[in-house]
Amino acid sequence: MRPQMQPPLRQPIGFWAIRAGEAIRARTRSRLAEVGVTQHEWWVLQQLSSHPAGIDERTLVATIGPNDTDEAIVEAIDAAVDKGWATRRQASVSATSAGNERFVAAADAQNELGVERRQGISDEEYEIAITVLQRTIANVGGDAWHW
């Protein structure tokens, strides 16, 4: 049996932010693996789905970049190309029909995960949680952005 925790106002937000991120990443990666997609490949497929005519690779890397290193994003683009999910034409990357199909499978998994994560959490509570985390980052001199 675990000992009783301190009241929430006495607990460190950094601890809970890290633990939430770890739990969400582990669950997301596990579920995406079930449909044969890594989280990094998901990020690529998701962005490509928003740019059916293709997207400049530098723009793609810059957009996804806050999630990991540029090198990791380029590796995910390379993997998508190697798997036949994307093509490169000059500086542009676009999804193939196989990539669009893989995106749909991964998007369905992501939608399921979103419902799972939001169980018992209202839209207002979710918005407050995100706003508090953003403000906390700014308060300590951090800088975060997400598309």
pLDDT of residue 45: 98
Q: Is residue 146's pLDDT more than 90?
A: no
- Kindly state whether residue 91 falls inside one of the protein's structural domains: yes
Residue 58 sits in a domain of what CATH number?
Answer: 1.10.10.10
| 67 vs 81 pLDDT, higher one | 81
Domain that holds residue 60: 28-114
In a domain? residue 49? yes
Query: Which pLDDT band, with edges at 50, 70 and 90, does 147 fall under?
Result: confident
Domain annotation covers residue 60: yes
Residue 48 neighbours by CB distance under 10 Å: 23
User: Does residue 80 fall inside a structural domain?
Assistant: yes
Provide the pLDDT for residue 145. Answer: 81
Amino acid 144: pLDDT: 87
Domain-embedded: residue 19 = no
26 within 8 A of 20, measured Cβ to Cβ: no
**Taking all residues of the chain, what is their mean pLDDT, rounded to a whole number?**
96
d(CA 17, CA 93): 34
The mean per-residue pLDDT over the stretch 46-62 comes to 97
| Secondary structure element (H or E) that encloses residue 106, with its range | helix 97-117
- Structural domains in the chain (count): 1
Kindly state whether residue 133 falls inside one of the protein's structural domains.
no
Burial of residue 46 (number of CB atoms within 10 Å: 0-12, 13-18, 19+) = middle
pLDDT (mean) for 57-73 = 95
- Cα–Cα distance between 66 and 59 in angstroms, integer? 12
Q: How far apart are CA 106 and CA 36, in angstroms?
A: 8
State the pLDDT at residue 94: 98
For residues 28 and 22, give the distance between their C-alpha atoms in angstroms, rounded to a whole number: 10
Mean of pLDDT values over 36-49:
97
Please indicate, yes or no, if residue 88 is contained in any of the structural domains: yes
Residue 140 counted as domain residue: no
Phi, psi of 94 (to 5 degrees): -140, 155
> What is the tens place of the pLDDT at every residue in 103-143?
999 999 999 999 999 999 999 999 999 999 999 999 999 99
Tell me the β-bridge partners of 4. Answer: none
Distance between CA atoms of residues 74 and 65, nearest Å:
10
The whole-number pLDDT of residue 27 equals 98
Binned at pLDDT 50, 70 and 90, residue 44 comes out as very high
How confident is the model at residue 28, as a pLDDT?
97
